[in-house]
Chain A
Amino acid sequence: MLELEGNDLFNYNPQNPELGWTVKEDLPAGPYEWKGTRYKKDANGNYRFVYDGRDAQAGRNINTVGFEIPLAFISKEPATDRIVRMWGGSYVRKASSLVKAHAPSAVGSAWLGVKNMFTKELEFNNRDSDYNQVDHDGVPFSDAALSMRYDSHVGVANLKYLREFTTRFAHLGWGFGPSVSALGLPTCFDHSNSPVSVHKTYTLATQAFPRVKNCFFQKLNMPDNSWNTSGKAIPLRYTFEVFLPNLTAVDMDTNGTWPFGRRPEDQVATRFLATFLDMKQNCGATACNVETLNEPALWESAPIEPKTVPNPRFNDKAFLPEFPYLAEPWPEHTTYPKE
Chain B
Amino acid sequence: MTQMSAANSTVNPASFTSYRLLRVIIARSLVLLFAGIALTAYLQYPREATPRASFQGDLVRIQEAMAQLKPNEPKYAFLQVQKAQLTGNFADFYQANQLLEAFPDDRELILLRAKIALSMHDVTRGGKLFDQLSHYPNDTRTEDLAIDIALQQGQYHQAVETLTLRLQRDLQWSDLARYAYLAHKFGDSAAADQYYVRAQELLSAKQIKDYAWLELQRGIIDLENGQHPEALAHFELANRAYPGHWLIEEHLAETHALLNQPQKAIALYEGVIQQSDNPMYFFALGDLLEATKPTRANGLFSAAEEHFQQRYSRYPMAAAGHMMDIWIEEQQKNPTAERRTRLLQLSEMNLVHRPNADSLIQRINVLILEGDVEAAKQLTVSLLATPWRTAEVAELADKFGLDLPGQLSMQLPAEIVTNQQL
Residues of A participating in the B interface, judged by any CB pair closer than 8 Å: 26-27, 29, 92-104, 109-110, 112-114, 116-117, 132, 148, 150-152
Contact = CB atoms under 8 A, between A and B. Distances in A.
Nearest to B38: A110
A117 B40 contact: yes
B99 interface: no
Given A95-B207, A102-B46, A112-B46, 11 more contacts: A95-B210, A96-B200, A99-B215, A99-B237, A99-B241, A100-B46, A110-B41, A112-B45, A116-B46, A117-B41, A148-B422
12 contacts: A26-B138, A95-B207, A95-B211, A99-B211, A99-B240, A110-B41, A113-B45, A116-B41, A116-B44, A117-B41, A132-B201, A152-B422
A110 B241 CA distance: 21
Interface of B: 37-38, 40-49, 52, 135-139, 200-208, 210-211, 215, 229-230, 232-233, 236-237, 240-241, 421-422
Contacts of A93: 204-205
A96 B201 contact: yes
Contacts of B201: 94, 96, 132
B41 A113 contact: yes
Nearest to A149: B422
A95 B208 contact: yes
B47 A150 contact: no
B40 A29 contact: no
Nearest to B215: A99
Contacts of B42: 113
Nearest to A117: B44
A92 B205 CA distance: 7
Chain B contact surface mostly: helix
A98 B208 contact: yes
A100 B240 CA distance: 9
Contacts of B138: 26-27
A102 B236 contact: yes
A97 B208 CA distance: 10
A26 B229 CA distance: 51
Nearest to B137: A29
A132 B202 contact: yes
Nearest to A96: B200
B203 A96 contact: yes
Nearest to A129: B201
A116 B45 contact: yes
A95 B241 CA distance: 9
Contacts of A100: 46-49, 240
Most buried by B among A95, A96, A98, A101: A95
